[in-house]
Structure 1
């Protein structure tokens, strides 16, 4: 994967996980389909997903910085 794809994937995943953690949208959706008993376990799933997505985003930004540094280094002249 290139760094732009990693950054987009990490950012979208982190935003989706954060929205699910911060708003009751997921609770309403689970209640509507009859799975409201699972709401007590959402933190065990959503918080690790949020951490994983932030990790992917960080890795993508790190790779972008490494690629930018590699492009800008002057080439050494051979004698």
Structure 2
């Protein structure tokens, strides 16, 4: 989940802060869509940042749970 969030955040940030989409959409003849990019990219960036934060929170909870329960870390057999 963390990998998905980080990769999505990086891609959305690159598209927001660089003219990658402006050049790409202009080349393929879809420059009329440029006015709508902010309505899509900024929420997408926020969603992927949220996914990353949730993944980090779950990982921290998992580590804390394993440290507080010594029986869960013992191997059985």
Give how far 1:25 is off.
Answer: 1.0
Partner Cα distance (1:63, 1:32) in 2: 42
Structure 1 stretches of 4+ moved >3 Å: none
TM-score (norm 1): 0.86
Query: 2:75 matched to which residue of 1?
Result: none
User: What value does the CA root-mean-square deviation take over the aligned residues?
Assistant: 1.2
Give SS of 1:34's match: coil
1:1-79 correspondence to structure 2 within 5 Å: 6-75=1-70
Unaligned runs of 5+ in 2: 72-77
Aligned residues: 71
TM-score (norm 2): 0.88
Deviations 1:26-67 (A, max 9, x none): 100000110001101100000000000000000000000000
Structure number with higher relative contact order (C-alpha < 8 Å, ≥ 6 residues apart): 1
